[in-house]
Structure 1
Amino acid sequence: MSAGRPLNVVVTGGSGPSGIATARALREAGHTVFAVGSDGPRIEAAAAEAGGGVIPLVCDLASLAEVRALHATISATAGRVDGVIHLVGGWRGARGITDQTDEDWDFLERGALTTVRNVTRVFYDDLAASEAGRFAMVTSTAVATPTAAGASYAAAKAAAEAWTLAVAEGFSKGTHSAAVIFVAKGLVDAGMRARSPERSFPGFTDVSDLAAAAVGLFTTPAAELNGRRLVLSR
């Protein structure tokens, strides 16, 4: 619930279609939005596509030092952060268990888990102090039904879920804040449909629906959200 002022919301993974849709929806809901990506030109283009007022920022979220610098930049210009919508993704798979590579594991651990750890550690105090503090990450239905081919991906996502639930337990101790997990089979956007018109993407969640769910976090009481896995797949 809103603290009576425009909320400051950070959208990580802001360069992709889900980040653009979420940043746009949050901005249209009246929030101040910071879209974060690792590539300067890409995040600037994405912020422009999301709409006027979305602020692009560059950060390697796998670097704790860079995330601390990101926090300092936002704090200096806008004050406390009220929400973080974490949309950093990436997938790698193999044929089975024996050919799961260390390189793929390092990539997935860095993207799926290390970024969640860094962002929540750095922004936790801001979110806990907010009257509407919200943290959300996106996970996959693969965590509940992992395959041998996707073992590393599912394991990294499961670890990120466990970390997020630990954040939720921290928020449960006398705060108005909530940490949630959005669960989706996969995300789809207009570009994907245009590139593969023959596909129906069964069970996939449109990025506009993810964006609407993110906006809804800030008008739903924390007690109804904290620690929940919110299934978005149809």
Structure 2
Amino acid sequence: MADLTARTVVLAGATSAAGVAVARALVDAGARVVATGRSAQRLGALRDVGAEIVVADATSISAMQQVAGTLDSVDGVIPLVGGWRGGGGLAGQSDEDFAALLPALEAVRATSRAFAPLLQASTAGRFAIVSSTAVARPLAGGANYAAVKAASEAWARAVAHGFTKTARDAGEPLRAASVILRAKALDPETLAEAVLGLWDQGADELNDRVLDLA
């Protein structure tokens, strides 16, 4: 098992089954886990596995900046806001469904912006998003979903470029990495294992990579 003692990892929008599985694995590996969500009641499951819980909206830059401001160091940030809506071909891609899917992208944007300085100050900062194989093969009935995931991947790759540029401009080695974890059907335990593995490789090996969770 990975030893993440003294590492602090933020799971944003973590009230799903995947969030609980990842939190449990990180805590078992010795990490300090800070889990956020909008519902104090739903955050109870995260507290039960050993995470510190904070009621905060992962899609809000100001809320995420407030969380970041309470932490002396952060070694990992994983936005877990998700959900799926689709079906009905292109005609079924409603504006309502698109709006319901957008928070996943908004969480990627807000968390990366709020925590980037702390991740770059870490000896091994990791930013990871959960994406879908639908990006590589979008279908008409899932066009809304694939579009949001594709935009999230583009943002994560821009974060990777930012990490590289900041390190290069400072004349320092790359220590932070932005990674895309891609799944066809997300299995919480597989995701948890992949998250633990983010600290097994150097940032130069991981930054701007897509890792298949199949």
Instruction: Using structure 1 for the length normalisation, give the TM-score.
Output: 0.83
Is the Cα–Cα contact under 8 Å of residues 13 and 81 in structure 2 kept in the other structure?
yes
Aligned to 1:222: 203
Aligned to 2:107: 115
Aligned to 1:6: 6
CA deviation profile, 1:171-228 (whole Å, cap 9, x unmatched) = 12323110000010012xxxxxxxxxxxxxxxxxx31121111011112111111100
Aligned to 1:81: 74
1:5 to partner: Cα distance: 6.2
Is the Cα–Cα contact under 8 Å of residues 171 and 177 in structure 1 kept in the other structure?
yes
2:5 and 2:97 map into 1 onto residues whose CA distance is 43
Instruction: Using structure 2 for the length normalisation, give the TM-score.
Output: 0.90
Determine which of 72, 86, 111 is the counterpart of 2:69.
Answer: 72
2:78 and 2:135 map into 1 onto residues whose CA distance is 20
% identity of equivalent residues: 47
1:184 and 1:94 map into 2 onto residues whose CA distance is 19
1:98 to partner: Cα distance: 2.5
Aligned to 1:166: 158
Aligned to 1:37: 37
2:120 and 2:160 map into 1 onto residues whose CA distance is 10
SS of residue paired to 1:106: helix
Root mean square deviation, CA, Å: 1.6
Range 99-108 or range 223-232, more displaced: 99-108
1:100 and 1:226 map into 2 onto residues whose CA distance is 33
Aligned to 1:185: 184
SS of residue paired to 2:67: helix
1:27 to partner: Cα distance: 1.0
The count of residues paired between Structure 1 and Structure 2 equals: 205
2:5 and 2:140 map into 1 onto residues whose CA distance is 48
- Whether 1:98 and 2:91 are equivalent positions in the alignment is yes
Aligned to 2:55: 58
1:101 to partner: Cα distance: 1.5
Gap regions ≥5 residues in structure 1:
188-205
Is the Cα–Cα contact under 8 Å of residues 39 and 55 in structure 2 kept in the other structure?
yes
Q: Any runs of at least 4 consecutive aligned residues in structure 1 with deviations exceeding 6 A, and if so which?
A: none
- Whether 1:138 and 2:130 are equivalent positions in the alignment is yes
Is the Cα–Cα contact under 8 Å of residues 13 and 57 in structure 2 kept in the other structure?
no
1:103 to partner: Cα distance: 1.5
Kindly provide the amino acid, as one letter, of the partner of residue 182 in structure 2: V
1:37 to partner: Cα distance: 1.3
Is the Cα–Cα contact under 8 Å of residues 25 and 215 in structure 1 kept in the other structure?
yes
Is the Cα–Cα contact under 8 Å of residues 43 and 56 in structure 1 kept in the other structure?
yes
SS of residue paired to 1:150: helix
